Amino acid sequence: MKIDIPKIIDEYLRQRSLLIEKVTAKPNPYNREIVVLTSRIDTVVAELIDLAEGIETVPSEDES
């Protein structure tokens, strides 16, 4: 199974931009928490991308 990492990254960044835009557009007591959570999600997404790239480089049984 081929994972389209660039497409996933592009969609993630698009959604993240929309979230940040909404958070900064209107003052809200939860904005700080949202920014902190977004930062944590960025870390998790980066780790998932690293894992996906590792999986992608290992040939499947069909390919070997």
Q: In three state form, how does the secondary structure of the chain look?
A: CCCCHHHHHHHHHHHHHHHHHHHHHCCCCCHHHHHHHHHHHHHHHHHHHHHHHHHHHCCCCCCC
Q: Which residue shows structure tokens 């930062």?
A: 39
Give 2-10's long-range contacts (Cβ < 8 A, gap of 24+). Answer: 2/56, 3/52, 3/55, 3/56, 5/49, 5/52, 5/53, 5/56, 8/49, 8/52, 9/49
**Does some domain include residue 40?**
yes
Specify the pLDDT at position 43.
92
**Does some domain include residue 54?**
yes
**Does some domain include residue 21?**
no
**Does some domain include residue 22?**
no
Q: What is the pTM of this model?
A: 0.61
**Does some domain include residue 36?**
yes
- Percent of the chain beyond pLDDT 90? 8
**Does some domain include residue 13?**
no
Number of domains comprising the chain? 1
Domain membership of residue 45 as a residue range: 28-59
Q: What is the pLDDT along the chain (64 residues), one digit of tens a residue?
A: 677 878 888 898 899 898 888 888 888 888 888 888 888 999 998 888 888 777 766 565 665 5
